[in-house]
Amino acid sequence: MKYIYIKTWGCQMNEYDSSMIITILQKKNKYSITQSAENADVLILNTCSIREKAQEKVFHQLGRWKKLKNKNTNIIIAVGGCVATQEGKEIFKRAHYVDIVFGTQTLHKLPEMINEVEKRKQFIIDISFPKLDKFKHYLKPKKKSCTASVSIMEGCNNYCSFCVVPYTRGNEVSRSCDELIFEISSLADQGVREINLLGQNVNSYQGLTFDGQICCFSELLRLVAEIDGIDRIRFITSNPLEFTDDIIQVYKDVPKLVSFLHLPVQSGSNKILQLMKRSYTVEQYELIIKKLIKARSNIQISSDFIVGFPGESDQDFQKTMDFINKINFDMSFSFIYSKRPGTPASKMTDNVSEKEKKQRLYILQKRINIQTMSWSRRMLGSIQTVLVEGISNKKNTELYGRTENNRIVNFKGSPEMIGNLIKLKIDQVHTHSLKGKII
Walk along the chain (439 residues) and give the pLDDT tens digit of each residue.
899 999 999 888 888 899 889 888 888 878 999 999 999 999 999 998 877 677 788 999 999 999 999 999 999 999 999 899 988 999 999 999 999 999 988 999 999 999 999 998 889 999 988 777 777 765 555 667 899 999 999 999 999 999 988 888 888 999 999 999 999 999 999 999 999 999 999 999 999 999 999 999 999 999 999 999 999 999 999 999 999 999 999 999 999 999 999 999 999 999 999 999 999 999 999 999 999 999 999 999 999 999 999 999 999 999 999 999 999 999 999 999 988 888 999 999 988 999 999 999 999 999 999 999 999 999 999 999 999 999 998 888 899 999 999 999 999 999 999 999 999 999 999 999 999 999 8
* Cis peptide bond upstream of 349, omega within 30: no
Residue 135 domain-assigned (yes or no): no
- Answer with the one of 103, 126, 149 that is the final residue of a domain: 126
Residue 401 near residue 424 (C-beta atoms within 8 A): yes
Q: What pLDDT is attached to residue 362?
A: 98
Residue 399 domain-assigned (yes or no): yes
CA proximity to 45, closest of 12, 9, 75: 9
Q: How far apart are CA 197 and CA 236, in angstroms?
A: 6
Same structural domain, 48 and 85: yes
Same structural domain, 82 and 183: no
Q: What pLDDT is attached to residue 231?
A: 97
Is 177 among the annotated ligand-binding positions? no
Residue 205 near residue 152 (C-beta atoms within 8 A): yes
Is 216 among the annotated ligand-binding positions? no
Residue 395 domain-assigned (yes or no): yes
pTM above 0.75, yes or no: yes
The three-class DSSP label of residue 299 is: coil
- Answer with the one of 258, 284, 310 that is the final residue of a domain: 258
Same structural domain, 93 and 191: no
Same structural domain, 196 and 232: yes
* CATH at residue 184: 3.30.750.210
Q: Where are the beta strands (DSSP E) in 175-313?
A: 194-198, 206-208, 214-216, 232-236, 260-262, 300-307
Number of domains comprising the chain: 3
Is 163 among the annotated ligand-binding positions? yes
Q: What pLDDT is attached to residue 272?
A: 98
Is 48 among the annotated ligand-binding positions? yes
* H-type alpha helices, 72-164: 82-87, 89-94, 110-120
Q: What pLDDT is attached to residue 173?
A: 93
Residue 346 domain-assigned (yes or no): no
Is 156 among the annotated ligand-binding positions? yes
Could you count the other beta carbons within 10 Å of the beta carbon of residue 141? Answer: 16
Same structural domain, 109 and 144: no
Give the contacts of 144 (CB within 8 A, at least 6 positions apart).
190
Residue 374 domain-assigned (yes or no): no
Residue 339 domain-assigned (yes or no): no
Could you count the other beta carbons within 10 Å of the beta carbon of residue 249? Answer: 14
Q: Please give the single-letter amino acid code of residue 180.
A: L
Q: What pLDDT is attached to residue 23?
A: 86
- Answer with the one of 92, 126, 160 that is the final residue of a domain: 126
Residues paired with residue 387 on neighbouring β-strands, in sequence order: 402, 421
Same structural domain, 62 and 168: no
Same structural domain, 101 and 163: no
Q: How far apart are CA 62 and CA 57, in angstroms?
A: 9
Q: How far apart are CA 16 and CA 11, in angstroms?
A: 9
Q: How far apart are CA 19 and CA 48, in angstroms?
A: 15
Q: What pLDDT is attached to residue 139?
A: 52
* CATH at residue 408: 2.40.50.140
Q: Please give the single-letter amino acid code of residue 242.
A: E
Residue 117 domain-assigned (yes or no): yes
Same structural domain, 119 and 147: no
Could you count the other beta carbons within 10 Å of the beta carbon of residue 361? Answer: 18
Same structural domain, 107 and 57: yes
386-423: b (≥16 Cβ within 10 Å) or e? bbbbeebeeeeeebbbbbbbebbbbbebeeeebbeebe
Residue 145 near residue 192 (C-beta atoms within 8 A): yes
Q: How far apart are CA 418 and CA 415, in angstroms?
A: 6
Tell me the HSE value of 196 on the side-chain side, using a 13 A CA sphere: 17
Residue 289 domain-assigned (yes or no): no
Q: What pLDDT is attached to residue 84?
A: 92
Could you tell me the residue range of the domain that residue 159 belongs to? 140-258
Residue 288 near residue 243 (C-beta atoms within 8 A): yes
Is 215 among the annotated ligand-binding positions? no
* CATH at residue 112: 3.40.50.12160
Same structural domain, 122 and 144: no
Same structural domain, 204 and 97: no
Same structural domain, 220 and 186: yes
